[in-house]
């Protein structure tokens, strides 16, 4: 009977082998995408069972077409009868048993995979609803088929009304007028990703601008066939305003730095220059860029680093500190400078760096030294005079006395400066002199009086006391 329908049996065998081979390949490909060991083992067992069945039918095909030519029809028929009667049940048992066992093992694993996928999808939707970003998805025809609920709250448009709409029909008309939209549309048509694309639109209030950042990624099935786009949109208005404010602050800082006569610097927590204004750099014959990224040791040398490091560390600890130093410059030699280090304290309390203000006080210190020298000369001149000389302020406190004054009262000048007559005379005597001094201040003119007083040597002598006001541009000083 078999030989009467050999070609029909050939077709049947080939069909069975083909279906088994396809199924085998499918299960093996599925196995490659699954990480769970038990499921992978189950699919491997299924593959083994399918391979046994395929091998049996391949032997059947070979026996039908090859054995009659080599063994003769009678022996071939005997072999085929033995193959079917003796081994068919065994092969069927092994193949079906392996397939059943494999399906049982892998089925349980696949059920867990399905549950994991459901859990994963649930987590994604929870994250999407809770996120500040709005998520969306399109199909292969560029029609929206998913929006997170937060998108509806942000856009004021019903998600149900947008689902199924082509991208161009559902996109805000204000977006489509912008150059960014043409870029996004081009990327979608080319099935290419896009990210960090910013759009602007009118806000709810007049004159208010809202900035939206969008990103999209094409996705494909396991055969590489395009399925659509997945992406997100984020309202970055607050970030954009903060960035604009930061840029404006930076602009103002640079304008200030460019017009400061001294140095205005910023150093990070590693004591590396982040910013140096032109004025400070010019002291050393350098450009501002030559400081950036380097330390004081690397740019200005060991002496400057040794002199400033202690104060930098103090500021880095969160404390403002001011100190003075002499800084050797390339252009104008040594400069007397006053340095103020101000810590840059972040919102969380950490110190991110140090602002440094460097003021050239060379002229002030030069005038102070000249004034001090002049004061010494004046003191020496007046100390050489035999007259009793003193200078008081408007409140009657001594500012300056000469050597004769010290001898008269028997006290060194450092015990006199800052005191009044009432600290050295009786109240009656001090009241007389105080009244004379009030007249001098009122008349803004000298007053003289002859007195008879005991001198330091114990001898009574006549003397003329002259009091005169010291006037500034306003009046008595």
- 148-190 per-position pLDDT tens digit: 776 655 565 666 777 888 887 777 777 778 888 889 989 999 9
Question: Between β-strands 209-220 and 351-360, what pairing exists: parallel, antiparallel or unpaired?
Answer: unpaired
SS3 at position 202: strand
Q: Specify the residue for token string 């400070």.
A: 280
pLDDT the model gives residue 179? 85
Dist CA 82 CA 196 (whole Å): 72
Look at residues 184, 215, 188, 213 and name the one whose alpha carbon lies nearest to residue 200. 213
Report yes or no: 111 and 119 within 8 Å, Cβ to Cβ. Answer: no
**Residue 194 has what pLDDT?**
93
Burial class (CB in 10 A: 0-12, 13-18, 19+), 432: middle
pTM of the model: 0.46
Distance CA 326, CA 324 (A): 7
Q: What is the pLDDT of residue 424?
A: 81
> What is the Cα Rg of the chain in Å?
50
Q: Which phi-psi region, left, alpha or beta, contains residue 251 (left: φ > 0; alpha: ψ -120 to 50)?
A: alpha
Cα–Cα nearest to 235, from 209, 204, 205, 212: 212
Question: What are the pLDDT digits (tens) for 54-102?
Answer: 676 677 666 666 666 666 666 666 666 666 656 665 666 666 666 666 5
**Which helix H or strand E contains 441, and what residues bound it?**
helix 427-443
As a whole-number percent, the residues of the chain with pLDDT over 90 amount to 18
- How many Å apart are CA 159 and CA 82, to the nearest integer? 68
Query: Are 149 and 158 within 8 A, CB to CB?
Result: no
Q: What is the DSSP string of 353-417?
A: EEEEEEEE-HHHHHHHHHHHHHHHHHHHHHHTSSS--EEE-TTS-EEEE-HHHHHHHTS-GGGTT
CA distance readout (Å), 188 to 137, 285, 301, 417: 12, 55, 57, 88
User: pLDDT tens, position by position, for the chain (477 residues)?
Assistant: 444 455 666 666 666 666 667 666 766 666 566 556 766 666 666 667 667 666 766 776 666 666 666 666 666 666 666 666 566 656 666 666 666 665 666 666 656 656 666 666 656 565 555 555 788 889 999 998 888 776 655 565 666 777 888 887 777 777 778 888 889 989 999 999 999 998 887 766 777 788 888 999 999 988 889 999 998 888 888 888 888 888 887 787 777 777 777 888 999 999 999 999 988 999 999 999 999 999 999 998 898 888 899 999 999 999 999 999 998 888 888 989 999 999 999 888 899 999 999 988 888 888 888 888 888 888 888 888 877 788 888 888 988 888 888 877 788 888 888 998 888 888 888 888 888 888 888 888 888 878 776 666 677 777 787 888 887 644 444
**Three-state secondary structure call for residue 470:** coil
pLDDT for residue 106: 61
Per-residue pLDDT, 225: 92
């Amino acid at each position: 009977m078999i030989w009467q329908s050999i070609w029909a049996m050939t077709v049947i065998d080939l069909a069975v082998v083909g279906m088994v081979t396809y199924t085998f390949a499918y299960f093996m490909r599925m196995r490659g995408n699954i990480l769970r060991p038990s499921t992978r083992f189950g699919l491997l067992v299924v593959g083994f069972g399918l391979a046994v069945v395929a091998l049996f039918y391949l032997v059947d095909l070979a026996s039908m077409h090859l054995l009659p030519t080599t063994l003769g029809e009678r022996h071939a028929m005997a072999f085929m009868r033995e193959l079917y009667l003796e081994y068919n049940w065994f092969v069927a048992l092994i193949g079906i048993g392996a397939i059943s066992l494999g399906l049982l093992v892998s089925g349980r694993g696949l059920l867990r995979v399905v549950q994991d996928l459901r859990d994963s999808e649930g987590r994604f939707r929870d994250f999407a609803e809770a996120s500040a970003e709005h998520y969306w998805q399109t199909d292969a025809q560029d029609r929206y088929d998913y929006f997170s609920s937060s998108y509806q709250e942000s856009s004021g448009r019903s998600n149900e009304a947008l689902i199924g709409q082509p991208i161009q029909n559902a996109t805000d008309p204000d977006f489509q007028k912008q150059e960014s939209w043409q870029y996004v549309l081009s990327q979608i048509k080319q099935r290419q990703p896009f990210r960090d694309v910013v759009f602007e639109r009118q806000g709810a209030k007049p004159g208010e601008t809202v900035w939206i950042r969008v990103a999209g990624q094409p996705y494909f099935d396991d055969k590489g066939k395009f399925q659509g786009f997945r992406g997100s949109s984020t309202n970055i208005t607050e970030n954009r305003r903060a960035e604009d404010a930061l840029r404006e602050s930076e602009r103002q800082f640079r304008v200030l730095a460019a017009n400061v006569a001294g140095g205005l610097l910023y150093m990070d927590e590693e004591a590396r220059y982040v910013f140096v204004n032109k004025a400070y750099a010019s002291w050393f014959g350098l450009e501002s860029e030559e400081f950036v990224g380097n330390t004081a040791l690397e740019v200005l040398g060991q002496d400057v680093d040794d002199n400033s490091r202690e104060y930098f560390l103090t500021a880095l600890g969160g404390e403002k500190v001011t100190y003075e130093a002499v800084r050797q410059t390339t252009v104008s030699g040594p400069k007397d400078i006053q340095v103020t280090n101000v810590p840059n304290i972040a919102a969380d309390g950490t110190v991110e760096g140090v602002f440094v203000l460097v003021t050239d006080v060379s002229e002030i210190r030069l005038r102070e030294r000249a004034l001090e020298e002049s004061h010494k000369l004046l003191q020496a001149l007046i100390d050489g005079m035999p007259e009793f000389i003193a200078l008081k302020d408007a409140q009657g406190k001594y500012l300056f006395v000469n050597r004769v004054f010290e001898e008269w009262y028997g006290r060194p000048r450092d015990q006199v400066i800052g005191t009044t007559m009432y600290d050295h005379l009786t109240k009656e005597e001090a009241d007389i002199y105080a009244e004379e001094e009030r007249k001098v201040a009122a008349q803004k003119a000298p007053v003289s009086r002859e007195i008879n007083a005991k001198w330091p040597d114990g001898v009574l002598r006549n003397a003329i006391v002259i009091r005169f006001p010291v006037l500034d541009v306003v009046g008595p000083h």
